[in-house]
């Protein structure tokens, strides 16, 4: 992670758009601005449908809008994948189990290689590779 990221950038995008919390809430189908406020303050996480609606409204990927949350999830998943890989490497199996383990290890290695080759970074969302959010 580069520097400190907020859990989400909803308020930044909303302010940039000029929308009020009430107006954004209306677009999302809420009766008032309370849920928008709770999402902006990271007091609650929006349901998937609402997170995707934020993406449509602001034309920014969910991973960018919720950058801090996304980075935390990525870190957790990468650690868990390393544990799974180490577990698979420690197994000795014969027959169909060996093929299954080899297939999973191959997928893990391909996944790791793909991430290294592409330098994937969800914070980069425009065609010029500029930071999507000025954090």
Whole-number percent of the chain with pLDDT over 90: 70
Q: What is the DSSP string of 28-78?
A: HT-SSSHHHHHHHTTSSPPPHHHHHHHHHHHTS-HHHHTHHHHHHHHHHHH
> pLDDT digits over 68-83, tens only?
999 999 999 999 999 9
- pLDDT band for 126, please (50, 70, 90 cuts): very low
Say which residue, 52 or 96, is predicted with more confidence: 52
pTM of the model: 0.75
């Amino acid at each position: 992670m580069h520097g400190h990221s907020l859990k989400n950038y909803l308020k930044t995008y909303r302010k940039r758009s000029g929308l009020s919390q009430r107006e954004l809430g209306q677009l999302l189908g809420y009766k008032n601005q309370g849920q928008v406020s709770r999402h902006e303050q990271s007091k609650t996480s929006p349901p998937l449908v609402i997170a995707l609606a934020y993406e449509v409204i602001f034309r920014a990927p969910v991973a960018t809008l919720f950058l801090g949350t996304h980075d935390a999830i990525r870190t957790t998943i990468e650690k868990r994948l390393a544990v799974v890989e180490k577990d698979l490497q420690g197994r000795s199996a014969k027959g169909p189990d060996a093929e299954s383990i080899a297939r999973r290890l191959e997928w893990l290695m391909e996944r790791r290689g793909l991430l290294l080759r592409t330098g994937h970074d969800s914070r980069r969302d425009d065609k010029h590779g500029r930071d999507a959010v000025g954090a």
